[in-house]
Amino acid sequence: MTDSALDDQIAEARSRDRPDVLIFPPLIPLATVMAGCGLQWLAPLGGLAKFDSGLRWGIGAVVLVTGLLMAAAGKFALKRHGTNISPLHPSTALVTDGIFERTRNPLYVGMTVALCGIAVILALDWIPLLLVPACFVLHFAVVRPEEGYLERKFGDAYCAYRQRVPRYLPGS
């Protein structure tokens, strides 16, 4: 085998060393917010707007910050272990400490919580409704393919981790 052919095989193997997610994860919350804003403009529901704006801002800010902190904790844990954050690149380490001791998907849970905070602050009633299909898409198009990849890559270590830590929140 020539060096060029070997280099091609190595490059092909590396390109396959990543989860086969169907959607790039940040597109899901972006689409949810855009659709929520559009629907709110076209057909406002007005439920959240009935609440005092100061109360809405206070509660929404706490929820938003909680979600952002959870996602940031997940991101920093992945960086601390030197593995990639994007599912478009290979995982180089199985991270099981820090926030990953509480949930296997802190970035996705944090993003979902943050979207709830945005919905409350801006009185966007459609966002909580759109989170149902968004979470469905996230689960089947991103999380499940990532789990299959991590099981193939890390084997028994990932299976033990999966048994110990909930996918999203305790009880899930």
Residue 26: inside a domain: no
Q: How sure is the predictor about 15, in pLDDT bands with cuts at 50, 70 and 90?
A: low
The residue-averaged pLDDT of 154-161 equals 94
Q: How sure is the predictor about 3, in pLDDT bands with cuts at 50, 70 and 90?
A: low
Residue 171: inside a domain: yes
Residue 100: inside a domain: yes
Residue 24: inside a domain: no
Buried-state track 51-90, b at ≥16 Cβ within 10 A, e below 16: eeeeebeeebeebbeebeebbebbeebbeebeeeeebeeb
CATH classification at residue 64: 1.20.120.1630
Per-residue pLDDT tens over the stretch 77-106: 999 999 999 888 999 999 999 999 999 999
Which pTM value belongs to this model? Answer: 0.85
Residue 41: inside a domain: no
> By residue range, what is the domain housing residue 162?
48-172
Residue 3: inside a domain: no
Residue 31: inside a domain: no
Amino acid identity of 134?
A
Q: How many domains does the chain have?
A: 1
DSSP letter at 50 equals G
Residue 56: inside a domain: yes
Q: Are 31 and 67 in contact (CB under 8 A)?
A: no
Q: Which of 23, 12, 2, 16 is nearest to 136 (CA)?
A: 23
Q: How sure is the predictor about 108, in pLDDT bands with cuts at 50, 70 and 90?
A: very high
User: What DSSP string runs through 65-127?
Assistant: HHHHHHHHHHHHHHHHTT--SSTTS---S---SGGGGT-S-HHHHHHHHHHHHHHHHHT-THH
